[in-house]
Amino acid sequence: MSTATGAVAPGRAPRRIGPFEVPAVGLGCMNLSHAYGVAPSAKDAERLLLTALEEGVTLFDTAALYGFGANEELLGRVLAGHRDRIVLASKCGMTGVGGRRVIDGRPETLRRTVDEALARMRTDVIDLYYLHRLDRQVPVEESVGAMAGLVEAGKVRALGLSEVSARTLRRAHAVHPIAALQNEYSLWSRNPEQGTLAAAGELGVALVAFSPLARGFLTATPPDLDSIPAGDIRRGMPRFEERHYPDNLVLRRELEKIAGDAGLTLPQLALGWVLSRGPHVIAIPGTRSVTHLRENLSVLDAEVPAEALDAAGRVLNATTVHGSRYNEATLPEIDTERCGRAG
């Protein structure tokens, strides 16, 4: 955690996820196939993945949902020949069925999904397998019990959960050890601070922060509302609505000044803040740009003044951000604790 004086340097020392050690920054692969406008070409996606590998990334995160299997196929095609160099993470329990996103945590579905994922990723075992969403119709004990069977069968090495509360984490951990909890965490999404950050640390669970750069808002160039394409998930997120976005840009300009005064880029400041929250926190920013990939990884060698971290946290947080992180239709699907007016 940051202190009043000195500097925080995430450094190259590995952080732990269950039986694995990985750098503090991994790669979220979703936007290579899913959710953020038009996907890059196969050639560009392959270049991004191989560059990440060359730059020292070992944790690659995908899911059955992403591109309705296309993202797992991409990682399998590009990284299968480097399997011994990476920690391969994927997710089950939320997939594409008939062109629609479906949450289904039934044991029989999870057992089928893992076999499909193994085939797509051209591997015999998945290192880290998450329950992507809690199925409100299925007790988490049943879903995790089925996933524990996948570990026993040698198809999975470690288990994780995504977008769940501290209470659900504890219930699942009582059934089978949970290696990682993947929840959204960034300067503007503080939900883990309502319980899961502390619970994960107590239980020895890695907190894997997705969208640590606030869905592109804290990257080098923030999204222009007019340029966000149809079908991009940000179109349905209140923080990117016209009624909220200009006010959030005002806060962003304050962060840019804090970063500049500290000799940092804004992504370095934002990622440094996330990684300073605890030694069990790992960030998995996604990108389609090799330049941005390298900038994200540069935080591992940066010294981020604690005063800058503290100032950034005061400027952008759950009480200052404008708009909730999901719309009203989506919020009931999310099991995480809500946070201030941020949802």
Spatial separation of the C-alpha atoms in residues 147 and 129, rounded to whole Å: 8
Considering the candidates 66, 129, 130, 185, report the single residue annotated as catalytic. 66
Reduced to 3 states (helix: H, G, I; strand: E, B; else coil), residue 315 is helix
- 66 as an active site residue: the answer is yes
Given a contact cutoff of 8 angstroms between Cβ atoms, the answer to whether 9 and 307 are in contact is no
Which residues touch 75 (CB under 8 Å, ≥6 apart)?
Answer: 29, 49, 60, 62, 88, 121
DSSP H helical ranges for the chain: 42-54, 70-79, 107-121, 140-152, 166-175, 196-203, 245-261, 266-275, 290-297, 306-315
Which residues on neighbouring strands pair with residue 284, listed in sequence order? Answer: 210
Closest of 141, 307, 292, 129 to residue 219, by C-alpha = 292
For the annotated catalytic residues, the residue numbers are: 66
